[in-house]
Amino acid sequence: MSELPSEVQSWIGQVRYEEETEFDVERGYIFTTCSSVQNGNPLFWDDQVAQELTGGPIAPPTMLSVWFRPHHWAPGRTKPLQPLQVHFDLKEKLDLPEAIMTDNEIVFAEPVRPGDRLRTRQILRSVSDPKTTKLGKGRFWVIEVEYLNQRDELVGRESYTGFGYRRSEA
């Protein structure tokens, strides 16, 4: 059984990639997301309903991760930034070229509203011993992401389980 590299071991429990989203939460993306899944919930389309229920417009709770995904390109950027960078760091350090997400748990706190500017931070919680699945041989890992708004209120906490692997040869 191969040992976990010490550098990766040191990442477990460490807060990494504390960052602010690249743009304020805005309604265009809220409408685009609702449209993409034909979500007609009037809370997101009808300002009167939003005012009555939530004191004004909010984003669908499951959009939490949308706000911290970086632009594919930005001026001066020499290579694309990756969302959930810890996931990609693990792929690189463990030499596992492919990866999928298997589990995702989201706990929702304060609603996210247009104009909010969110901060996130990533914490690697665990990395498994090597495992073999139908996809190939690799490792599972769990990454937690916390989301705070500009008032330091927790808006959500998300946990991802990923499986990084090298494809089995046919």
Partner 1 sequence: MSAERHMLTIDQVKAGDVVPAFTVDVSATTVVLGALASRDWRPMHHDKDFAVQRNGVKDIFLNTPAQAAWFERYITDWTGPAGRLGRMKFRMKDSVFAGDRMVFRGVVEQVETDATGCSWVDVALSLKVGEKLVTSCAARVAIPANASDNPWKRRGENWKP
CA distance 132 to 40: 42
Does residue number 142 form part of the binding site for partner 1 (CB under 8 A)?
Answer: no
Does residue number 78 form part of the binding site for partner 1 (CB under 8 A)?
Answer: no
CA distance 108 to 116: 15
Please select the residue that binds partner 1; options are 8, 17, 110, 166, rule is CB under 8 A: 110
Does residue number 35 form part of the binding site for partner 1 (CB under 8 A)?
Answer: yes
Does residue number 109 form part of the binding site for partner 1 (CB under 8 A)?
Answer: yes
Does residue number 85 form part of the binding site for partner 1 (CB under 8 A)?
Answer: no
What sign does the CA torsion over 41, 45, 46, 49 have? positive
Minimum Å gap between C-beta 14 and partner 1 is 24
Total residues at interface with partner 1 (CB under 8 A): 43
**What is the DSSP secondary-structure string of 123-161?**
EEEEEPPPEE-SSEEEEEEEEEEEEE-TTS-EEEEEEEE
The residue length of the chain stands at: 170
Q: Which residues pair with 127 in a beta bridge?
A: 141
Q: Binders of partner 1 among 36-55, rule CB under 8 A? A: 36-39, 41-43, 46, 48-49, 52-54
Minimum Å gap between C-beta 18 and partner 1 is 20
The token pair at 88 is: 């990609």
Does residue number 150 form part of the binding site for partner 1 (CB under 8 A)?
Answer: no
CA distance 44 to 56: 10
Write out the residues near partner 1 by the rule CB under 8 A.
29, 32-33, 35-39, 41-43, 46, 48-49, 52-54, 60-63, 65-66, 69, 72, 80, 83, 98, 100-111, 135, 160, 167
